[in-house]
Chains A and B, each alone.
Chain A
Amino acid sequence: MVLNLTHTKSLAMNDITKDAKTCTMKKQPLKHKNPAVDAYRNQRDPKKKYKIESAMALAAAIEDAMIAKGLNRSRFAQVMGVLPSQITRWLSGTQGINTESIFDMEFELNTKFILNHTNKPLEEEYKPQIFEIHQIPLSNEVTIKTKSPVIAIAKNKNHIPDCKIKITIQEHKRKVLTPISTPTHKYSVSKY
Chain B
Amino acid sequence: MQILSPLLFEGDHLRANTLYEDFFLDNIHTYKEEIENIDDRLSVIGHQLGMRSSYYKDHEGSPGDGIIALFDDKRKNLRLYAILFGNVAVVLGNGGFKSKRIRAYQEDELLNKQNRALRKISAILNQAILDKRIIVTEYGLEFDPHEIFSDE
Q: What's the dominant secondary structure at chain B's contact region?
A: mixed
Q: Which residues in A have their C-beta under 8 angstroms from that of B48?
A: 13, 53, 57
Residues of chain B whose beta carbon lies under 8 Å from any beta carbon of chain A: 1-9, 14, 16-18, 20-21, 24-25, 28, 36-37, 39-50, 52, 54-55, 71, 73, 76, 91-92, 120-121, 124, 137, 139-152
Are B4's CB and A8's CB within 8 A? yes
Are B44's CB and A92's CB within 8 A? no
Q: Which residues in B have their C-beta under 8 angstroms from that of A49?
A: 40, 43-44
Contact of A9 among B3, B14, B36, B37 (CB under 8 A): B3
Q: Which residues in A have their C-beta under 8 angstroms from that of B121?
A: 1, 3
Q: How far is the CA of A11 from the CA of B71 in the complex (A)?
A: 20
Are B145's CB and A37's CB within 8 A? no
Are A4's CB and B46's CB within 8 A? no
Query: Shortest 4 CB-CB distances between A and B: which pairs?
Result: A91-B54, A2-B9, A3-B6, A30-B145
Q: What are 29 A-B pairs at a CB distance below 8 A?
A: A1-B8, A3-B6, A3-B9, A4-B6, A4-B147, A5-B91, A5-B143, A8-B5, A11-B2, A11-B140, A17-B139, A24-B137, A25-B137, A25-B140, A26-B142, A27-B145, A28-B145, A30-B146, A34-B17, A36-B25, A41-B39, A48-B36, A48-B37, A49-B40, A52-B40, A53-B48, A56-B49, A60-B49, A93-B54
Nearest chain B residue, comparing its CB with the CB of A35: B16
Nearest chain A residue, comparing its CB with the CB of B46: A9
Q: How far is the CA of A89 from the CA of B146 in the complex (A)?
A: 40
Nearest chain B residue, comparing its CB with the CB of A7: B4
Q: How far is the CB of A156 from chain B (nearest CB, A)?
A: 11
Are A11's CB and B143's CB within 8 A? no
Q: How far is the CA of A34 from the CA of B152 in the complex (A)?
A: 28
Q: How far is the CB of B81 from chain A (nearest CB, A)?
A: 14
Q: How far is the CA of A11 from the CA of B138 in the complex (A)?
A: 13
Residues of chain A whose beta carbon lies under 8 Å from any beta carbon of chain B: 1-13, 17, 20-21, 24-30, 32, 34, 36-37, 40-41, 44, 48-49, 52-53, 56-57, 59-60, 63, 88-89, 91-94
Q: How far is the CB of A180 from chain B (nearest CB, A)?
A: 23
Contact of A92 among B28, B54, B140 (CB under 8 A): B54
* Residue picked from B45, B49, B92, B150, most chain A C-beta under 10 Å: B49
Q: How far is the CA of A4 from the CA of B52 in the complex (A)?
A: 26
Q: How far is the CB of A82 from chain B (nearest CB, A)?
A: 15
Q: Which residues in B have their C-beta under 8 angstroms from that of A92?
A: 54-55, 71, 73
Beyond A41-B39, A52-B37, whether A63 also contacts B52 by CB under 8 A is yes
Beyond A21-B139, A60-B49, A63-B52, whether A6 also contacts B37 by CB under 8 A is no
